[in-house]
């Protein structure tokens, strides 16, 4: 009887995960287009990523990698002149890295005047490279999956992470993640009473990515339609990390906490009003060919190779970046598909500001879509 109750409880937990997936995906109240593609469903955001959301990402990177791998942080800032930054650091010492205004001063003017302008925090982020946008999407999926683990008390929220123990979906499903879980899933099997979630439980979603050229046409919007404010609320699953880094803000001042392990903040002041001309939208295809039917073909054209689970496990410790491998979808046998990390193939053009939004290829269960739901 006890075994049956444990199994029932485990099933209810998994069902609960799925029930909240569609509601929580991207943000509450978001309009999401779904369409059927072979054995998968695809969810596509109808709004762009905002400055505030991208700043949360930058601050998370800074808190996690800044102490030991500052280059990861620098590379994620749009339009950063590394030579200028290195010059400042050589004069003022490495501690200048603790001042975010130093980094901003070495970026393109649009970064201070628009991206880090408190007046435009909830407007679309622009000037981000193709690689940065895709890496943000992979990071966002990790935070989404981590958030679901926290909400169901399988994982404790720990604001201060290091490069060794931050939550990575690919590492977790392969049994390579080094972080600590709060509890595990009951199995009802006395010989093996608990286990971690597996990919086949359909709990986790694959990495978010840029939409393909074909997918960007589904919503029927042009890039110019996106230039408006998209308010950030407590229902956004990034709210955990927002609270850790945003201390205060008004129309001209933004105060950010440098690191979540000590109470030191820095102020960014900007009183300018700017006019940003959005010229287009980033998409996953970086070549001029028509959109292929197979998503894996697009990744292949982007010089990203498919890798099997056994090879991923063998090569995990040789990973040369924090996003060396991505889970992009689920194949017909319900196994994750790993691909190698994004290469810097398409740098940002700072004369043409492009917005970006995100898509996700997954199974119907992973996305929380009820059977028979109307899709486009």
pLDDT attached to residue 56: 95
pLDDT attached to residue 317: 67
Q: Which residue has the higher pLDDT, 259 or 32?
A: 259
pLDDT attached to residue 257: 85
Q: Is the full-model pTM beyond 0.95?
A: no
3-state secondary structure of 231: coil
Each residue of 23-76: pLDDT tens digit?
445 433 344 444 444 456 788 887 899 999 999 999 999 888 888 888 888 889
pLDDT attached to residue 371: 58
Residue 1, token pair as written in the block: 């009887």
Residue 38, token pair as written in the block: 């072979």
Instruction: Please give the average per-residue pLDDT across 232-237, as a whole number.
Output: 86
Look at residues 11, 26, 14, 35 and name the one whose alpha carbon lies nearest to residue 364. Answer: 35
Q: Which residue has the higher pLDDT, 23 or 355?
A: 355
Residue 128, token pair as written in the block: 């981000």
Q: Is the pLDDT of residue 7 over 50?
A: no
Mean pLDDT of the chain, nearest integer = 80
Instruction: Please give the average per-residue pLDDT across 300-324, as a whole number.
Output: 80
Asked whether 80 and 103 are in contact (CB, 8 A), the reply is yes
pLDDT attached to residue 214: 81
Beta bridge partners of 34: 43
3-state secondary structure of 253: strand
Residues 115 and 117: their CA atoms lie apart, in Å, by 6
Give CA 271 to chain center in angstroms. Answer: 30
3-state secondary structure of 248: strand
Helix and strand numbers (H, E) in the chain are 11, 13
Q: Is the pLDDT of residue 153 over 60?
A: yes
Q: Is the pLDDT of residue 152 over 70?
A: yes
Look at residues 136, 170, 172 and name the one whose alpha carbon lies nearest to residue 327. Answer: 170
Each residue of 74-107: pLDDT tens digit?
889 998 888 888 787 777 665 555 678 888 989 9
Each residue of 286-302: pLDDT tens digit?
876 666 667 888 888 88
pLDDT attached to residue 318: 57
């Amino acid at each position: 009887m006890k075994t049956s109750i444990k199994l029932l409880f485990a099933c209810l937990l998994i069902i609960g995960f799925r029930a909240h997936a569609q509601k929580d995906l991207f943000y509450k109240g978001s309009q999401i287009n779904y369409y059927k593609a072979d054995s998968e469903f695809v969810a596509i955001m109808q709004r762009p990523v905002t400055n505030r959301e991208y700043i949360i990402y930058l601050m998370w990177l800074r808190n996690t990698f800044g102490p030991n791998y500052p280059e990861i942080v620098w590379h994620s800032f749009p339009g950063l002149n590394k030579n200028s930054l290195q010059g400042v650091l050589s004069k003022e010492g490495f501690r200048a890295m603790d001042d975010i205004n130093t980094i901003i001063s070495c970026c393109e003017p649009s970064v201070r005047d628009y991206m880090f302008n408190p007046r435009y925090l909830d407007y679309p982020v622009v000037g981000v490279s193709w690689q940065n946008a895709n890496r943000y999407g992979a990071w966002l999926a990790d935070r989404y999956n981590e958030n679901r683990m926290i909400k169901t008390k399988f994982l404790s929220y720990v604001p201060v992470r290091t490069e060794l123990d931050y939550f990575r979906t690919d590492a977790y499903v392969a049994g390579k993640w080094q972080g600590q879980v709060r509890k595990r899933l009951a199995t009802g099997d006395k010989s093996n009473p608990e286990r971690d979630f597996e990919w086949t439980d359909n709990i986790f979603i694959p990495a978010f990515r840029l939409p393909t050229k074909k997918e960007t046409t589904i919503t029927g919007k042009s890039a110019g339609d996106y230039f408006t404010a998209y308010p950030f609320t407590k229902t956004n699953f990034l709210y955990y990390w927002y609270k850790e880094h945003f201390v205060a803000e008004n129309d001209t001042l933004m105060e950010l906490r440098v690191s979540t392990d000590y109470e030191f903040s820095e102020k960014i002041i900007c009183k300018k009003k700017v006019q940003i001309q959005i010229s287009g939208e980033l998409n996953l295809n970086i070549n001029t060919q028509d959109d292929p039917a197979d998503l894996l073909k697009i990744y292949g054209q982007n010089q990203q190779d498919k890798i099997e689970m056994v090879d991923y496990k063998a090569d995990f410790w040789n990973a040369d970046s924090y996003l060396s491998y991505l889970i992009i979808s689920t194949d017909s046998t319900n196994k994750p598909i790993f691909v190698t990390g994004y290469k810097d193939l398409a740098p940002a053009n700072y004369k043409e500001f492009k917005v970006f939004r995100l898509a996700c290829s997954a199974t119907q269960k992973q996305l929380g879509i009820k059977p028979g739901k109307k899709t486009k």
